[in-house]
Amino acid sequence: MSSLNLDDFTDLIERPDGGVRRDAEARRERQVVPPGSLGRLDDLGEWLAAAQGSVPVRPVVRPRVVLFAGDHGIAALGVSARAAGSAAELVRDVLEGGRPVSVLARRLDVPVRIVDMALDCEPDAFPEDVVRHRVRRGSGRIDIEDALTTEEAEAAFLAGVAVADEEADSGTDLVVLGDVSVGGTTVAGVLVAALCGTDASVVTGRGGEAIDDLAWMRKCAAIRDALRRARPVLGDQVQLLATVGGADLAAMTGFLLQCAVRKLPVVLDGVVAAACALVGQRIAFRAPDWWLAGQSSGEPGQAKALDRMALEPLLDQGVTVGEGAGALLALPLVQAAAALAAELPEKPQEPEKPEETQEAGQAGEGEPGRG
């Protein structure tokens, strides 16, 4: 059993300010463009106002991409298009600017932060700011063994909480959350299937770099076997992350919950982020009110998780590459919603009609004079 008191999150997480949202809606009704004519941008602007506690909404000026990285032992079964233990190569490519998220981040002028939680490489392979929260080297093969010890899961969860505090304290006003992993979508599928009570085949997708049919069948079997190990620990979310999760997913879950505590909005990327959000919802039911689904990746597990949390993706471009790239594409949409909500002028007020005075004047003519 975990020693963490997760009930604290239920007590600490409040919903975005409903009164501010009503004020934002009222302001929207007074603007020159009719309400509803901007589609979901209206809802986005009002959601941001409630999250910020501000009318008019403030612009999103300090966004950041935060990526949690790790290798998963389940990748040894050939469930990924990439070789097991090769997530470090992806991390290096992101840092050197050669991945889709790197290109988009440069274009949008958004800093990218990578947090190594369980890469299968030596700790000195990356700078200190990348590796200082690392819990272990790789996570266990969840079809036959636990991903982490309970102590490691707690440490990873608390590391995610610490990263959220660091971001909030540094002035970050919106986070794009993603992962850099090998085997991560398989682990995410297990969590989603366990929490939604579905079979492995319902949540098994093709992963970030589409696998062939044989690899898909191996992945489905791996999720099925891991599900048997997940179901007995569903009542303890930290133990669930230790049994069939991983250090990166445990950290992402803690990160998401603490962002909700700190009232820091988060845009979720793919199925890994969605699975962690689903675990977070189990811990604190109000937490998803602080999150947006950036994009639909086409992964069935992501669709299942988002449906359970009533989160509708902002974009549907079928971006499966991970690394926060799909969600980062949604950032300009969020910024546009904030700008429209704040900068569209209000309709000029119609002058009040003068009171009818004719009858009063006629009545005055009939009054007797003074003499």
Tell me which residue has tokens 């076997």: 225
Residue 370 CB partners (closer than 8 Å, separation 6+) = none
User: Which residue intervals of 287-355 are DSSP H helices?
Assistant: 300-309, 325-343
Q: Around Cβ 240, how many Cβ atoms within 10 Å? A: 28
CB distance 307 to 275 below 8 Å: no
Rounded to whole angstroms, the Cα distance separating 190 from 18 reads 35
Rounded to whole angstroms, the Cα distance separating 49 from 22 reads 10
Three-state SS at 267: strand
Rounded to whole angstroms, the Cα distance separating 175 from 93 reads 21
Residue 170 DSSP label: T
Give the torsion through C-alpha atoms of 331, 333, 337, 338, to 10 deg: 20
Active site residue 145: no
Tell me which residue has tokens 């062939």: 212
Cis-peptide, bond into residue 300, ω within 30° of zero = no
Nearest C-alpha neighbor of 24 from the set 338, 287, 292: 338
Residue 125 CB partners (closer than 8 Å, separation 6+) = 88, 119, 131
Query: How distant is the alpha carbon of residue 367 from its chain centre?
Result: 76
- Tell me which H or E stretch contains 171: none
- Tell me which H or E stretch contains 321: none
CA 267, 342, 56: angle at the middle one, nearest 5? Answer: 90
- Please identify which of the residues 29, 323, 346, 365 carries the catalytic annotation: 323
Which residues are known catalytic residues? 323
